[in-house]
Amino acid sequence: MSYATIHFEIEDAVAKLTFDRPDRLNAFTAEMHGEVADALDAAEREGARSVLITGSGRGFCAGQDLNDRAVAPGGEKVDLGASVERFYNPLITRLTTFPAPVVCAVNGVAAGAGANIAFACDIVLAGRSARFIESFSAIGLIPDSGGTWHLPRLAGLPRAMGMALTGEPIDAERAAQWGLIWKCVEDDELASEALALATKFAQGPTQGLAATKRAIRGAMLRSLEEQLERERDLMRTLGQTNDYGEGVAAFLDKRRPRFTGH
């Protein structure tokens, strides 16, 4: 598939999506939003069993391309709510509900919506030189793209407030210590570690992994009682899958399982 602002391919059931506007640190334009949405639809349609997102060049993503937000003196101001509703909110919903694990390899600076897009992925690895910046406060905005929702839940209120109000860069190691991301890895190992993880998921029991993601994300909104009921329902469904049967058989046979995603 050929796009102007991203690279996209599906290989061995891994959908690899690379933001590709390196001169602008992979900042989002409307065109790029359209291409990312299209690629994620293609990934689902073609049965990808994991998604791997990263950036090209020295940055991961610098959020909205501010070149598209310049207002001439006396000119009409942009309706940011319309942009958030049309582009950023659907992207965050798509990532958090995608029916397979979404791995994010943060290869450099992740700023504004770029940071919050990373935090919306299921497993985030970052290279040691990467940094996360809630840069919204510098231009009079709030952390959108789920930032006000994810930050306090992942890092706690004081750190969420600190990041959002000061816009201070948080390096990858600190992001991992704070629970914002899964792991900080050496820069030259990021691509291979992230691909190994995405490949492992793509060879895994896809329905079980997707249900795990749904259950854990949903748990943040439910009581324990409600969650226990949800777990019962999901276990009932997953117990009927071929992959569960294969997992148990492989364990008993002392061999590696061959999951099909069914």
Residues forming contacts to ligand T3D in the complex (CB under 6 A) are 24-25, 27, 62-67, 69, 80, 83-84, 88, 109, 111-113, 133, 135-136, 139, 141, 144
Chain position whose Cβ is nearest to ligand T3D? 63
Decide whether 77 or 256 has the Cβ nearer to ligand T3D. 77
Q: Which is nearer to ligand T3D, 139 or 248 (CB)?
A: 139
Question: Closest separation between CB of residue 102 and ligand T3D, Å?
Answer: 19
CB of 149 to ligand T3D, least distance (A): 15
Q: Where are the alpha helices (DSSP H) in the chain?
A: 30-45, 80-83, 89-97, 113-119, 147-155, 157-166, 172-177, 190-202, 206-219, 224-238, 242-253
Q: Is 230 exposed, middle or buried (0-12, 13-18, 19+ CB in 10 A)?
A: middle
Nearest to ligand T3D of 22, 152 (CB atom):
22
Q: Which neighbouring-strand residues pair with 52? A: 16, 103
Please provide the DSSP assignment of 149-200 as one string: HHHHHHH-HHHHHHHHHH---EEHHHHHHTTSSSEEE-GGGHHHHHHHHHHH
The Cα 27–Cα 100 span in angstroms is 25
Minimal distance in Å, beta carbon 92 to ligand T3D? 11
Shortest Cβ 9–ligand T3D spacing (Å): 26
Q: In whole angstroms, how close is the CB of 126 to ligand T3D at the nearest point?
A: 15
Q: Which is nearer to ligand T3D, 99 or 167 (CB)?
A: 167
Closer to ligand T3D by Cβ: residue 48 or 133: 133
